[in-house]
Structure 1
């Protein structure tokens, strides 16, 4: 398979080099593109020095716009698989082969912290949000999901095409699953380990958490009503 790892990055100069080095160590056969989302630090230089291709956006567009840029790049360069990984080191590169090994089972493979026992621990509020969204998506899709907020994912060409056409803009992980299911895609989870971020701090404050839950819930409900199954390549 021709595999591309997409890493959206905003002010991640302290961690991006090690993330790229780890990917090269465990999966040296893959290509890496860093979507530098209008960073004001040395993220671009650090990523280039580590050996990744870098797409620099002129200003910060957010995770949704950054990821869609990566999927457009994957489609234009005819990659078979596109993998999403965080720039802060939360997604261990040694777990990447698990996602790739499951690609023959689904169109999108999600690395889940909860499909089996793992060492990952989250705050009480974050865990409540994860459970809520997993139950919401499970109800809407009539399939069981355990970790709908996970950004550790591998997508085949069908999903690359879907995401190149549309990708949710703000806090997109949950809505993007419902969007795929409404487009006839197979989505599975595999158990993976994850770490705490290796540098920086999360942008999700308690106030943002409340905003996040309301906004994403409304977006997911609208997505479930709006998108119907479409024919491939339409």
Structure 2
């Protein structure tokens, strides 16, 4: 597989991830040596910024906690200001395998956004009860809006191509749940092409998870409400899709 291009930025939103973020950065730099890694420290109370910087990342320190959406919006704006036209989002807790990044970037040859999907075979695989129902609703509704089958609409492991990067630098939602559900709705309603590729996610590699099973279920049910709100907002406009230079091309 060709190596990623030099104008690729890997953005890692991180909040109190000092236990894992160093290994995350080192894995990213080893897996995609032609890219640059930016850790957006979302006003952490620990040594996240120092650990990330020591591992070789560029670090942006936010003065207040904005959540993943706000951190990613800052990352997209940083990318546009510096001429990057590919942005890949990777969580700071180590769940996203860095070796899967080149596969997501390769998918941008035929799409504007490529999602690393945990369960590419069935909607809500592995979930039960209300959680499975919520995941089914999200997947089916967003699939219809995007006009393609999507099964993991809450995945934070995503690659964005040139049109998506420009769009998200202006519109990436910072509200609760906006970084996953609303961002996909904005992109799909703007005419961007969204695809997914299967990825084997890992367990959190350090720190403490913020959600248990009950909280995760409530999170998904709130996401359904967020989806309804996102569908009422005005459509965004983007330019025509240009040919995407394949990674590693001269």
Please give the TM-score of this superposition, normalised by the length of structure 1: 0.90
- What secondary structure does 1:40 align onto? coil
The residue aligned with 1:138 is 143
- Cα deviation for residue 17 of structure 1 reads 0.5
CA deviation map 1:120-149 (0-9, x unaligned):
x85546555433321221234443111101
1:177 equivalent to 2:176? Answer: no
Q: Structure 1 regions of 5+ residues with no counterpart?
A: none
Alignment of 1:132-171 (within 5 A): 132-168=137-173, 169-171=175-177
The residue aligned with 1:62 is 67
Residues 1:62 and 1:80: Cα distance change in structure 2 (over 3 Å): same
1:45 equivalent to 2:79? Answer: no
- Cα deviation for residue 210 of structure 1 reads 5.1
Residue 203 (structure 1) aligned to one of 210, 217, 227:
210
CA contact (8 A) 1:20 1:47 kept: yes
Please say which of residues 211-220 and 166-175 is displaced more in the overlay: 211-220
The residue aligned with 2:243 is none
In 2, distance between residues paired with 1:92 and 1:26?
9
CA contact (8 A) 1:183 1:227 kept: no
Q: Structure 2 regions of 5+ residues with no counterpart?
A: 241-250
In 2, distance between residues paired with 1:176 and 1:31?
23
Residue 226 (structure 2) aligned to one of 193, 199, 219:
219
Please say which of residues 162-171 and 63-72 is displaced more in the overlay: 162-171
Residues 1:92 and 1:231: Cα distance change in structure 2 (over 3 Å): closer
| Count of residue pairs the alignment pairs up | 230
Q: Please give the root-mean-square deviation of Cα atoms over the aligned residues, in Å.
A: 2.1
Please give the TM-score of this superposition, normalised by the length of structure 2: 0.85
